[in-house]
Amino acid sequence: MKKLDSIAKYISIAYRAQASLLNDKLADYDIGRGQYPFLIALYHQDEICQQDLCKIYDIDKAAAGRAVKKLEDKGFIKRKRDSEDKRCYLLYLTEKSKKFKPVFMDILYSIEEEIKKGLSQDEVEIFMKLIKKICYNLGFEDEFIEGE
């Protein structure tokens, strides 16, 4: 029987390995895998609607609510109802998360360097072009994909 050697298999393996590494590096700060994307988005743009983050990361509302609640309880973010759209909660960084940003970014950059270890700049650029096409093919037409 022929083994299935697919792109999806390797994306899954790479994602799980990266997530495990990230969990290990963020454990001391009590931030889990489900919470860090919200910090990344808020560091990119403070004051963002929770529903928009669900769309950006393709996360269901319940999971997003749990992640936001944990970050809020830990003092990393605050949440307020949007005065213009009562259905939307706006998320904001706190002083704690603003002070944490350099540490968090160092962790992300160190993981990025580990991922790119042994790859040439050309290989990284080709991979980025290809993975963005894959994301687009899978329906993600987002500014985080196009603009990064």
- Whole-prediction pTM: 0.79
Q: Any idea where the domains of the chain sit in the sequence?
A: 119-148
Q: What are the C-alpha distances in Å from 20 to residues 24, 27, 33, 87, 123?
A: 6, 10, 8, 34, 24
Q: Provide the residue type at 46 as one letter.
A: D
For 2-54, what is each residue's pLDDT tens digit? 667 899 999 999 999 999 999 999 999 999 888 988 999 899 988 888 888 88
From edge to edge, which strands make up the β-sheet containing 48-49? 48-49, 89-93, 77-81
For 131-146, what is each residue's pLDDT tens digit? 999 988 988 765 544 4
Q: What is the pLDDT confidence band of residue 1, given thresholds at 50, 70 and 90?
A: low
